[in-house]
């Protein structure tokens, strides 16, 4: 099992996901500034993994400060980390938990208590991904061909994965005949990371470009789509990697079930619908270049939204660690979010 985020005695160790699959390199980070930069530049990515890394980033800020300035250092670390990436709510949920510890804790005990909370966030994400993997696997028919988008695997979470965890578990149970992974432009999380994980897990895998999804839906028998999520609004609208919405529309047009697998830390009950989810716009060089090489002609306008929102009416079911939810989603999401302590940005 590869761990993308680890706490090693007094610092954070991250798998540098930008280098995969060519190189499996780990970086040791000892300051909150470095953790914030690693989230922003996507050394660490994937909603649950970002939340865990941020929680440890707050611990580093407390650890680096002297006792007189520790409370202020933690507050400014939380603001700094909150400004890294706007869409995945796991980041804000984890930071809110760290803020509550800071508010309620004796400053002398702050480092230890923050570390304890960060470890709890980490362990909860770990057990959530394990539960989601086994629940998600129950949705697979025998001999399934499954399509996934982006990377919702062990390296995007604390371990196991969500959507990819379900695929790997269903494969272990002998139910998967093939997984189809989309390359996921612009940063190729599918081609680089999902294929790497699936092949290592021994799952028969086919890589396609994003624009091939319609063709394969029409000409091959795809039994289900399963993807992860970065934020799920109270009505079940789902923000996930750009391109997810197009796949959901195609799935509906072809009668293919479209499943979303995500921990309750991804549910944001403070937003009534996906219209209120902030969509991150990243640097346009990610679109104009591939692996650092410019491929696009000069163009007056280039756009690079990193996520899109799939309306809840296109979602067949949402798999959380607390159960599989079906439409209408609001009541079910309220139930699972409440039992998780509620989430808000």
Counting contacts by CB under 6 A, is residue 152 touching ligand MRU?
yes
Binding flags for ligand MRU, 208-237, as an x/- string (CB under 6 A): --------------------xxx-------
Sheet of 26-29, strands arranged across: 5-8, 11-15, 26-29
List Cβ neighbours of 134 (8 Å cut-off, separation of 6 or more).
169
Q: How far apart are the first and last CA of the chain?
A: 31
Q: Which of 70/171 has CB closer to ligand MRU?
A: 171
Burial (CB count within 10 angstroms: exposed 0-12, middle 13-18, buried 19+), residue 289:
middle
SS3 75: helix
Question: Residue with the closest Cβ to ligand MRU?
Answer: 228
Nearest Cα to Cα of residue 318 among 222, 213, 245, 232: 232
Q: Which of 87/102 has CB closer to ligand MRU?
A: 87
Binding flags for ligand MRU, 3-42, as an x/- string (CB under 6 A): ----------------------------------------
* 223, 230, 237, 308: the active-site residue: 230
Q: Which stretch binds ligand MRU (CB under 6 A): 138-146, 149-157, 285-293, 336-344?
A: 149-157
- Of 3, 34, 45, 70, which one interacts with ligand MRU (CB under 6 A)? 45
Is the Cβ–Cβ distance between 133 and 162 less than 8 Å? Answer: yes
Counting contacts by CB under 6 A, is residue 320 touching ligand MRU?
no
Q: Which of 33/286 has CB closer to ligand MRU?
A: 286
Is the Cβ–Cβ distance between 129 and 266 less than 8 Å? Answer: no
The token pair that represents 71 in the structure block: 């409370």
Counting contacts by CB under 6 A, is residue 88 touching ligand MRU?
yes
Active site residue 230: yes
- Of 102, 133, 189, 235, which one interacts with ligand MRU (CB under 6 A)? 189
Q: Which of 113/124 has CB closer to ligand MRU?
A: 124
Counting contacts by CB under 6 A, is residue 185 touching ligand MRU?
no
Strand-strand pairing, 231-233 and 238-241: antiparallel
Sheet of 307-310, strands arranged across: 267-268, 231-233, 238-241, 307-310
The 3-state DSSP composition of the chain as helix, strand, coil percent (nearest 5) reads 45, 20, 35
Q: Which of 97/231 has CB closer to ligand MRU?
A: 231
Residues in contact with ligand MRU by the rule CB under 6 A: 45-48, 88, 150, 152, 156-157, 162, 189, 228-230, 240-241, 306
Provide the annotated active-site residues: 230
């Amino acid at each position: 099992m590869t761990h993308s985020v680890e706490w090693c005695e007094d610092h954070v160790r991250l798998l540098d996901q930008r280098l995969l699959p060519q190189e499996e390199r780990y970086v040791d980070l000892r300051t909150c500034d470095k953790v914030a930069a690693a989230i922003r530049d996507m050394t660490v990515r994937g909603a649950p993994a970002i939340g865990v890394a941020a929680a440890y980033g707050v611990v580093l800020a407390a650890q680096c400060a002297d006792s007189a300035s520790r409370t202020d250092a933690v507050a400014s670390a939380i603001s700094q980390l909150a400004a890294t990436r706007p869409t995945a709510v796991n980041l804000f949920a984890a930071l809110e938990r760290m803020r509550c510890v800071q508010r309620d804790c004796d400053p002398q005990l702050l480092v230890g208590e923050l570390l304890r909370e960060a470890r709890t966030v980490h362990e909860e994400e770990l057990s959530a991904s394990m539960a989601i993997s086994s629940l998600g696997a129950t949705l697979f028919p025998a001999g399934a061909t499954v399509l996934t988008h982006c990377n919702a695997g062990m390296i995007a979470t604390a371990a196991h994965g969500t959507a990819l965890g379900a695929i790997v578990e269903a494969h272990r149970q002998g139910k998967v005949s093939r997984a189809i992974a989309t390359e996921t432009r612009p940063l190729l999380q599918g081609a680089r990371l999902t294929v790497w994980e699936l092949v290592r897990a021994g799952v028969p895998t086919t890589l396609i470009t994003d624009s091939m999804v319609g063709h394969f839906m029409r000409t091959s028998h795809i039994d289900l789509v399963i993807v992860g999520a970065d934020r799920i609004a109270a009505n079940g609208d789902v923000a996930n990697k750009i391109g997810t919405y197009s796949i959901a529309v195609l799935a509906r047009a072809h009668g293919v079930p479209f499943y979303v697998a995500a921990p309750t830390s991804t549910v944001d009950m403070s937003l009534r619908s996906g219209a209120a989810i902030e969509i991150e716009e990243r640097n346009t060089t990610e679109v104009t270049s591939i692996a650092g090489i410019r491929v696009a002609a000069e163009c007056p306008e280039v756009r690079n939204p990193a996520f899109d929102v799939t309306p809840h009416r296109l979602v067949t079911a949402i798999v959380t660690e607390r159960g599989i939810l079906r439409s209408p989603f609001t009541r079910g999401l309220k139930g699972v979010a409440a039992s998780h302590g509620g989430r808000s940005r």
